[in-house]
Structure formats: structure tokens, C-alpha cells
Chain A
């Protein structure tokens, strides 16, 4: 080809503005709503390349070890819809958890596309407070934690044991299958002690059959009132 024709073409190609590309979800956040008994949950999400040039997916990275995902293709043409599949390990999560999937692309304008997920795991049993705390040298006064069944089905406490001997505890049924009170008192606060109460229940869901409430006698950090 003659130089006079090639050079203007090269200048045009070099100076042409890059076409925008953008992977975009159809919803602000992907909602994930497992049942209390679910150990894992899969969810599919749809997206579109709303840009004017193809986008190649270079990699996926997640903000949580509980989240793994893949996309149905590696390259999405302009206007093309895609589907992603995510799997969450629910395990001991309870309540609302915000997680993200980070998709690396070859698009300099969108090198990373962030897919937000909201995992909402129903709480069926609440222990409040979860930790009872004394400082070393404090008076060894009794403290109370409350076990409340917030799910539809009643759950009964069948037994409570302690991981430490240097603690006295007792438990009382306030409302059968619904509400319990656990009273705890360290025998001494002269030394550091970290321990837990193992709360056994008759829940039909295996992961709720043993719950833990913590107690600690610890050195008061500097600056703590």
C-alpha cells in the first residue's frame, strides 16, 4: 500500500477514541436468601454488556472465602446478555452480610466490575450478649445472657456445659421453647480465663443443636474506663 494512504489510516487508528464498554447488572444488588437449614445456596445473576465494544473477562476474585462464582462465557459482545452463577457457603452466617465478586476485564475503562451480593440468613436463635466479660481483679459478680428463639419452631435447651471449671452457671426456662436465661459467675477473677458455655438444643437443624456463649476474665486494656 502506498505510504500516503497508510499513514493517515495509522494516525486515525491511533487517535480514535476508545469505544466505551460496560458490564452491568440489571439490579442494584444480587439478593441471596437461604433457609435457616441451608449449608450452601446457589444463585444466578444476569448482566449485559452495555458498551460498544466486546469485553473479555480476565479473572474473578471474591471478597469472601464463602463465595465462589463463574460466568457463562469469557467474552461478551456489545449488547450481549450473560449469566453468572454464585455459590455461598452459608455455614454459621446469620443476619445480613454484604459480599462482592470482583470481575477483572480487559476494558481499561472498567478494569474491575464489582458485583454486589446481599446474603440474608434468617436468625432462628439469638444469644445476647454473646460474650460475658470481667476484668482481672473485678468483683466476681453474676452476669446474665439470654437465649431467645426467634424462628417459627420452638427450640428447647437440653443441657449446658462449660469448657472451664472456674465458673458457676445455672439456666432457667422463661418461656418453654422460646426464651431462656443463663446466669454465669466466675469463681475467681484473679487470673485470665477464656471459656465457653456449650448450649445443647433439640433443634431439628444440626448446626443449631450446639451453640456457644463465651465468657472471659481478661486484663483490662490500657485506656479502658
Chain B
């Protein structure tokens, strides 16, 4: 019994030593804690949307149309790369009178679609407040009760 326990302790100790050595020596060892990256200049967090703007924003969904049809942020309108021109025309009445920030979102943190759509949108409509939702659709989804 004690012998088995001793062996288990030895095994556990070996694993810990190996893990510590790997962490110390690995050139790309991850941090031992997670830190939230600060939003980029063109990004807005969900907290900002809720707090500073009290949810009074125009949501634009840069994901593919089938994903938009499946589910989207309530009130959001589609504006994706593939159908940019035709979808933008449908938004003109809304954007013409917009006095609230415009927030674009796409499928995830690494998705660049919203950024490219934002660039194209600003070339045509020089909105003063136009941001990308940090974390995209998953961030919004995760914040729902």
C-alpha cells in the first residue's frame, strides 16, 4: 500500500519536474495567467456598447448571409464582403440619418471580414463613429443569459 503510494508520488513528482522544465525551456511557453488584450483603436467592447452608448447603436453583421439568417444580434442588418454593394444601398436610409455609433461584427476574434467591410464603408460614408465589436459574434453570444 505504502509502496504504491510512494511510487505514485514519485510519478507525480517526475511529471511536475518535466512540466516545469518544459515551461522554463520552451521558447514559446504560454503565460501562466490570462490577460485580456486591450481593444484596438477601431474596436469597441460589448461593455462600451452597453455602458457608454446604452445599446443605442446600429449593428451591422459582416458574416455570410446564411449565418445572418440563422441568427443575429436583434436589429442588426447584413453588410458582408460578398454582397457589399447591394446590401449597402439598402442601408442608405438608415445611415443617412444615423446619429449613433455603427458597430460591425463578424464570426470571431480572428475574423478580418468586419475590418475590411468597415474600410469599404468608410470610403463611401465617412461615419465619425464606426467600430468593430471586440470578440465578434461569439462575444455577444457569450454575454447572453
Contact = CB atoms under 8 A, between A and B. Distances in A.
Interface in A66-124: 66, 89, 91-93, 102, 108
B82 interface: yes
A3 to B, nearest CB: 7
Contacts of B108: 61
Nearest to A3: B7
Chain A interface, >50% SS class: mixed
B96 A192 contact: yes
B79 interface: no
Interface in A170-225: 192-196, 211-212, 214, 216, 218-219, 221-222, 224
Contacts of A108: 26
Given A15-B21, A193-B96, A89 B14 contact: no
B63 to A, nearest CB: 6
Contacts of B21: 15
Contact of A61 (B14, B96, B110, B125): B110
B92 A66 contact: no
B44 to A, nearest CB: 18
Interface string B118-145: 0000011110100000000000000000
Contacts of B73: none
A65 B83 contact: no
A14 interface: yes
B45 interface: no
Interface string B47-64: 000000000000000011
A4 interface: no
Given A14-B15, A63-B112, A92-B85, 4 more contacts: A63-B111, A102-B110, A131-B123, A193-B96
13 contacts: A11-B14, A15-B18, A15-B21, A64-B112, A65-B64, A65-B106, A65-B107, A92-B84, A93-B82, A194-B96, A212-B85, A214-B88, A218-B126
Interface of A: 3, 6-7, 10-11, 14-15, 61, 63-66, 89, 91-93, 102, 108, 130-131, 133, 163, 192-196, 211-212, 214, 216, 218-219, 221-222, 224
Interface of B: 7, 10-11, 14-15, 17-18, 21, 26, 63-64, 67, 80-86, 88-89, 92, 95-97, 106-108, 110-113, 123-126, 128
